[in-house]
Structure 1
Amino acid sequence: MQNFNLIDSPWIPVRWRHDASAETSPLVSLKTAFARSSEIADLDCAPHERIALTRLLVCITHAALGAPEDEDEWDEFGTNFSEDIIAYLKRDDIYPHFNLLGDGPRFLQSKKTTAKSSEGYPLCKIFFQLASGNSPKLMDHWGEDARPWEPAAAALGLLTLQNFFVGGSMASKVKGNGPSLKSLQMLLLGDSLKETLLRNCIDLETLKQTGAEIGTPVWESPADNNLLARLAPTACALWLSDDYATTLIDQGHQYPEFEAYRDPFATTLTIKDNRRLLRANLEQGIWRDLHLVTNLKHTDEASGPLNLQAFNNRHTLKQHTNLWVGELVKAKDAKIIDCTESTFTVPQQLFSEDGRKIYANGVDHADAISKKLYGAIKTYWGALKHENPPVPSAQKHYWHQLDLKHRTLIQMAGDTESRRGLPAIGEAGAVDAWTKLVQSTALDAFNSVCPRSTPRQIQAYANGIKPLMKALYPKPPKAPKQPKKSSSIPNIQSEMKL
């Protein structure tokens, strides 16, 4: 058995900055990640791995450096970033907890005394992207047969499973989910790994808004429900075999879900008096919820992520801020469906009430026209007695084009001053870029599935497009009729008769 310590051994996939001063490698250890954090541009991994790795690195940063009390203490935070964190990781009471194997403490692992090695599951089961059991994958046909695992891959899979444990065939032994599930995670991106990590740290004043405490990581004390224990979680009692072929899985710490605990990287909103976490919808682009993510207020109705609120507290948001948003999406039957991610360069005004209102109006207008498009296509094909109109094809065309050009709406929300005094998006007389884009896209989508080559088709086309055109080009409301004024000129003929 060869030991593999995550502090000294390379396992974190990264992309280097173009000005890196020394030899570079696609995988780095924790020590190198922090020692050369200013030379590393970003993590280089799948969305769920990015979330798990960022949470771990932020956890280590807070564990080593503490956390500012409030916005006034941010200037001094991270002054000796690399030196202090590496010194923390090298401590005698910390270093052994990052061993991947061995009889002593292990990284995010524990073993029940009654566990038997024959009860182990194939290691492929902890990787969501691989085929195992009744979970076939298009590009993976290995199944549950033994695979040649590298320690680096096993370490990353272990960390990811603890964050996103969802059960499945292993659910009979474990209750609860990983703390990173069931929410759209938002991470602030910097020009380097160091800047990214510092941007995602949280001060105690912001954290106390949710009633939580910073706590300690699981390698320092038993798992609890506070911040650091959730950033590097132990949702399962895992124990890797010495050859990385199998893993034992048992009950770990059961983390409470929202509303009992507010995840620091999640957005909350209220729908019909029900407060919930913002989730990804695979049928629509993440950009359609960007105005919710950029909400800097902490209220019961809506609240942006705590890391964004803390970043705003210590900095006046710059002209542009880079955000990464993504989620590992699960189904109700505990199966992983897919993962999704988007990166946005957000102008400062989109964090203001005026900018968010413009953006929300643009999304609402696009959604309203989508419904009008649905009705127009149904009317067209209903006139032709067609029972299955190609509405999904048109809707896909419509939203795909808006997905490609959603930056237009971001730019409008970032220039609130130029919008003052003009008609709102979609209203009568509106000639802004987003209104025009929605108009042309909706007409293209309608024309793509509604031909007009025959007399019957022409008549059906006229019936269908009429209500759509009214929605796309609304007329201003008619002014109320003014009452007729009574004439002051006397009726001469009447007077002569008298």
Structure 2
Amino acid sequence: MTPTVASMFNLLTEPWIPVRWVPSARCDEPPGRVGLRSVLVNAHRIQQLAPPHPHVHAALLRNLYALTARVTELDEQGPARDWLERRDEVIDAGQLPAAAVDAYLARFHDRFFLYDEDGGRPWMQDPRLARQCDPHNTAGVNKLIMTRPSGNNHAWFRHGSDSTPDLPSSADAALHLLTWHYYGPSGRCSSREVNGVKSASTTAGPLRTALSYHPEGATLFETLLAGLVQPSSVVRREADLCPWEWEQLPDPEKVPDAPTGPCARLTACSQHAVLLVPGGEKGEVAADAYITWAYREGRIPRDDPYLIWQISQQGNRYPRPADSQRALWRDVDALLAHRVSDSDGSQPPLVFETADGLWPHLRVRALGFEQEGQAKNVQFVEAATPPILGKEEQLRPSSRQEVARLRQLGERYGRRLDRAVRRAYRTYVDDKKSDAGAWSADAAARYWPAAEREFWDRFRQLQRRNSAGQDDSAADASLDADATRSAFLRLAERAYDTVTERAGMTLRGAQAVSDARIELYGGPRRR
């Protein structure tokens, strides 16, 4: 039987996931892209995933976490042995079990086709859209790729035309398919008709606007094992299903069920329904795409273990948003639960409860996409810390307040610097409502990178003192608060002097700069 065009691209074997191999593997000239099976079987030889954008990386990791939990049977607590002991056995083996990988993937082989024209179930897609959506008014591949303009939207990253789009390869289309399930916007979408009722509105994806944090090891194998979250004792794998494991597609008119375990929480929380249309002689490109709502009513609860959760003044729980202007060091105390009494009440990612201390070289990688809830995409966000999750890097409980204090001092003088340059500018131009954004941005660009270097230098000093076995009674002396305060103040003063130098060459400007300088030291004293 001659295979159809659509059935020729199976994600288990086709190369679509970009990877970076460990240096010792380069002599074999391994490929730059591999299929899902190769990623799992060779995870110990792969250094890390290498997708083009951080939000693609975050989406890929969540699906690989779920597959790793399945093939290692770490998707349940298990009645016989402790979950942590079973994870240690996998770690001691040094690689994921190839036989278990093959057995699991063979069971769901037909669910990993990217396209299917024969009434099957293409991976992470809803084939019903071909008849429930208007085939003459599809979303198109420009809509599928979030970095492209589509319709009447602004061109944020590149220009393009819906009439003559550049068709993405099937490998790239699979990556962008994933991002829609996690970062898809809310608002108007393609119309979908179910049981005679048309709707064209959807809610945002579970990671829209959020920044996620992942423990990262020396290899992808370490990263995947460190990223697994211990399931509760009530989780059962027959109920905790990934979308490709569903016997039937969910009813779009019913309120979606809340996920019952880690695998569903990682892969089955999408608010969007997508269907790709193959193109080319062998299905090597995606020619079109349907993108619409997955559920007419209700929203799947957001409960992701890789997010920092904050509490609003109204008591609502929300993830810390991705901010391209906020450096990762400012989240370190929240990541490791280094809190003091006046903290903002943030909850660190749940994954660090089981990842902390697993390997001596574990660090944290932050991945996200600064966006608005609907159409606007601003900037990608990606950063990595030095090793802060290893056994040698663990801080004493009494040292955790010092890390929070260190971060607070760095942020304090950043805020004071911003107030100072804004006041100086507005006084200089004699307009209290004037926009001081140019001076503020210049000062921030000078201060925050220097403050980041200062933070990590002093953070490493805390680590060295801790590893030397310093007694907890000397904890108060571990962080020299006065020296730290003076160091950040000097950085703020240097940035302030540089930004205001030219204005200070005039009498009026010198007076404005001199008067506003007091903001660096806390502002005028109140009587």
- Band of TM-score, shorter chain: 0.7 to 0.9
The 1:461/1:255 distance shift into structure 2, 3 A limit, reads: same
SS in 1 for 2:146: coil
Is 1:50–2:57 an aligned residue pair?
A: yes
Question: Partner residue of 2:202?
Answer: 175
Equivalent residues in 2 for 1:248-267 (5 A)? 248-252=290-294, 260-267=301-308
Is 1:241–2:277 an aligned residue pair?
A: yes
The 1:183/1:84 distance shift into structure 2, 3 A limit, reads: farther
Aligned mate of 1:28, from 34, 38, 41: 34
Equivalent residues in 2 for 1:335-354 (5 A)? 335-347=376-388, 353-354=397-398
- Kept in 2, the 8 Å contact 1:362–1:409? The answer is yes
Comparing 168-177 with 261-270, greater Cα deviation is found at 168-177
SS in 2 for 1:19: helix
Matched residues in 2 for 1:217 and 1:108: separation? 9
Equivalent residues in 2 for 1:364-443 (5 A)? 364-377=408-421, 380=424, 384=428, 386-387=430-431, 391-405=436-450, 406-416=452-462, 417=465, 420-422=475-477, 430-432=482-484, 435-443=486-494
Question: Partner residue of 2:135?
Answer: 117
Question: Partner residue of 1:489?
Answer: none
Aligned-pair distance for 1:58?
A: 0.9
Question: Partner residue of 2:72?
Answer: 65
The 1:319/1:413 distance shift into structure 2, 3 A limit, reads: farther
Is 1:107–2:118 an aligned residue pair?
A: no
Aligned-pair distance for 1:51?
A: 0.5
Question: Partner residue of 2:101?
Answer: 86
Question: Partner residue of 2:194?
Answer: none
The 1:353/1:396 distance shift into structure 2, 3 A limit, reads: farther
Aligned mate of 1:217, from 242, 249, 257: 242
Name the % identity. Answer: 19
The 1:447/1:302 distance shift into structure 2, 3 A limit, reads: closer
Matched residues in 2 for 1:358 and 1:105: separation? 53
- Kept in 2, the 8 Å contact 1:186–1:305? The answer is yes
Aligned-pair distance for 1:99?
A: 0.5
Comparing 99-108 with 214-223, greater Cα deviation is found at 214-223
SS in 2 for 1:347: coil
Is 1:323–2:364 an aligned residue pair?
A: yes
- Kept in 1, the 8 Å contact 2:187–2:203? The answer is no
The 1:329/1:385 distance shift into structure 2, 3 A limit, reads: closer
Matched residues in 1 for 2:436 and 2:140: separation? 44
- Kept in 1, the 8 Å contact 2:140–2:290? The answer is no
Matched residues in 2 for 1:214 and 1:408: separation? 49
Matched residues in 2 for 1:447 and 1:42: separation? 40
| 5+ residue gaps, structure 1 | 475-498
TM-score (norm 2): 0.76
Aligned-pair distance for 1:149?
A: 2.9
Aligned-pair distance for 1:96?
A: 0.5
Question: Partner residue of 1:492?
Answer: none
Q: How many pairs align?
A: 460
Matched residues in 1 for 2:311 and 2:292: separation? 35
Structure 2: which amino acid aligns with 1:367? E
SS in 2 for 1:63: helix
Equivalent residues in 2 for 1:198-213 (5 A)? 198-205=225-232
Q: CA RMSD in A?
A: 3.5
Question: Partner residue of 2:193?
Answer: none
The 1:183/1:390 distance shift into structure 2, 3 A limit, reads: closer
Matched residues in 1 for 2:297 and 2:24: separation? 42
Aligned-pair distance for 1:53?
A: 0.7
Aligned-pair distance for 1:164?
A: 1.5
Question: Partner residue of 2:266?
Answer: 231
Question: Partner residue of 1:449?
Answer: 500
Aligned-pair distance for 1:305?
A: 1.1
Aligned-pair distance for 1:306?
A: 1.8
- Kept in 2, the 8 Å contact 1:377–1:446? The answer is no
The 1:271/1:374 distance shift into structure 2, 3 A limit, reads: same
Matched residues in 1 for 2:441 and 2:425: separation? 18
Question: Partner residue of 1:361?
Answer: 405
Question: Partner residue of 2:17?
Answer: 12
Aligned mate of 2:331, from 289, 296, 299: 289
The 1:399/1:85 distance shift into structure 2, 3 A limit, reads: farther
- Kept in 2, the 8 Å contact 1:65–1:85? The answer is yes
Question: Partner residue of 1:150?
Answer: 169
Matched residues in 2 for 1:342 and 1:225: separation? 31
- Kept in 1, the 8 Å contact 2:153–2:375? The answer is no
Bigger Rg, structure 1 or 2: 1
| 5+ residue gaps, structure 2 | 78-82, 191-198, 251-256, 280-285, 467-473
Aligned mate of 1:165, from 156, 170, 184: 184
- Kept in 1, the 8 Å contact 2:138–2:290? The answer is yes
Aligned-pair distance for 1:153?
A: 1.1
- Kept in 2, the 8 Å contact 1:131–1:141? The answer is yes
1:171-215 alpha-carbon deviations (Å, 9 max, x no partner) = 65353322222432011111111111111011124998xxx9981
Question: Partner residue of 2:283?
Answer: none
Aligned-pair distance for 1:32?
A: 1.4
